[in-house]
Amino acid sequence: MFQLMAAIATVLGGIALFLTLVGLYGSASYLLGQRRREIGIRMAVGATASDAALFLFRYSMGLTAIGVGIGTALAVAVTQIIGSNMVLILNIYDTGAYATGIAVVALASIAATAGPALNAARVDPASTLRSE
């Protein structure tokens, strides 16, 4: 019974992680589309390709930090509620599990932002400024 519940939780967690990746990728791509002119201007006046990529990484890491903070607070609250109503043999405050979850989400957000960040680094200032 516990193995089935663990398998279901794993599948649901995988789906949630996938949706997080898609959302963060879409958000970073949208930001790049909205700020392409700004990035082109910055690159025209001397910003490097790594500066443009770091711009998107900072944005996505900010979103990730907010999401991890809210998610961790909710996870602790739900764990307290469930743990207080059930007799569990498990440690409900397993810091290793929380740290692993946070690390997985952080690495996934870096992977999701890599594509839009590389696109931001490839922005051609001349064609961007000419197009508008």
Each residue's pLDDT tens digit, 59-74: 888 888 998 999 899 9
Q: Tell me the per-residue pLDDT of 96-110, one tens digit each, with 9 for 90 and over.
A: 888 998 999 889 888
The total of structural domains in the chain comes to 1
Q: Are 120 and 48 in contact (CB under 8 A)?
A: no
At residue 15, the pLDDT reads 95
Beta-carbon count within 10 A of 120 CB:
26
pTM of the full structure:
0.74
CA-closest candidate to residue 47, choices 116, 123, 114: 123
86: helix, coil or strand?
coil
Return the minimum-mean-pLDDT range out of 43-52, 60-69, 101-110, 122-131.
Answer: 122-131
Q: Tell me the per-residue pLDDT of 23-39, one tens digit each, with 9 for 90 and over.
A: 888 988 898 888 888 88
Q: Mean pLDDT score of the chain, rounded to an integer?
A: 85
Task: Provide the residue range defining the domain that includes 68.
Answer: 2-130
> What is the C-alpha to C-alpha distance for residues 112 and 110, in angstroms, rounded to an integer?
5
Which amino acid is it at 71?
G
